[in-house]
Amino acid sequence: MVFGGSRGIGAAAARRLANEGADVVVTYVSAPERAAETIGAIEDTGRSGLAIRADSGDPAAIEAAVAHAVDHFGRLDIAVVNAGILLLGDVASVSVEDLDRMLNVNVRGVFLAIQTAAARLTDGGRIITIGSNTAVRSGYPGSSVYSMTKAAVAVMVKGIAIDLAGRGITVNNIQPGPTVTDMTVDHIERIKQLSPLKRAADPDEIAGLVAYVASKESGYMTGSSITIDGGLAL
């Protein structure tokens, strides 16, 4: 199940997991046509897909989506929590409304998705969050709140990994750098020049790491945050 799987990194992760042999559920909020495209790509691999509209800031919607997914497929083995928003603004201009929106989706929503998925996850399953390299590297102007929310996810994962270790469930956090998605289109050209590789990531590159963390081979890794950002120096 990929929370926020209709486009960008989430859609790439959904496609890759299908290629690896998984049936995949994706949630979306505002892009039903993109969700349908992702489901089409999943089904092109020969696997089954299901799109569910669910706002990651709404606990009831998250709970209903997970219940629907398990009822539909019979089990849940992997949960990828990708839903997030980026609202830029320096310390003088960030509104309380924008602060609350980012905390609601990027922190509270991530916790609720993990909590709800974990209750239905098979023992030995995988939980993977999509964070940001800004959690460990200095951010760029206007990114202080966004970076704070992603740092919170990195710490959250460490604690939840301990909570779920007894069930053999691993919990890890992937921290991409600049990646070509709808969310980054307005500032990607400027930021990618700070990378030694002088480019941004393709979502499929991040999805490859998701596939590894979801695999049996990663079973000894939990509570970790893995940064994949082209050596970005900020």
Of 234 and 225, more confident: 225
What is the structure's pLDDT at 189? 75
- Ranking 49-53, 195-199, 213-217 by mean pLDDT, the lowest is 195-199
- Token digits of residue 105: 């989706």
Question: What confidence category does residue 234 fall into, taking pLDDT thresholds of 50, 70 and 90?
Answer: low
Q: Residue 223: left (phi > 0), alpha (psi -120 to 50), or beta?
A: left
SS3 per-residue string spanning 23-43: CEEEEECCCHHHHHHHHHHHH
Mean pLDDT for 28-38 is: 93
pLDDT at 185 over 80: no
Start-to-end C-alpha separation, the chain: 33
What is the structure's pLDDT at 184? 64
Q: How many residues does the chain have?
A: 234
Q: Active-site residue numbers?
A: 132, 146, 150
Delineate the domains of the chain, giving CATH numbers in brackets: 2-226 (3.40.50.720)
The model's pTM: 0.93
Q: Are 178 and 120 in contact (CB under 8 A)?
A: no
Kindly report, residue by residue over 49-101, the tens digit of the pLDDT: 999 999 988 999 999 999 999 999 999 999 999 978 888 899 999 999 999 99
Of 233 and 66, more confident: 66
Mean pLDDT for 18-40 is: 95
Q: Are 193 and 174 in contact (CB under 8 A)?
A: no
Kindly report, residue by residue over 131-178, the tens digit of the pLDDT: 999 888 866 788 899 999 999 999 999 999 999 999 999 999 999 988
How far from the centroid of its chain's Cα atoms is residue 83's Cα?
6
What is the structure's pLDDT at 233? 62
Mean pLDDT for 12-35 is: 96
Kindly report, residue by residue over 150-162, the tens digit of the pLDDT: 999 999 999 999 9
As a whole number, the mean pLDDT across the chain is 92
Question: What confidence category does residue 205 fall into, taking pLDDT thresholds of 50, 70 and 90?
Answer: very high
SS3 per-residue string spanning 57-111: CCHHHHHHHHHHHHHHHCCEEEEEECCCCCCCCCCCCCCHHHHHHHHHHHHHHHH
What is the structure's pLDDT at 198? 83
Q: Residue 4: left (phi > 0), alpha (psi -120 to 50), or beta?
A: left
- Token digits of residue 153: 């996810």
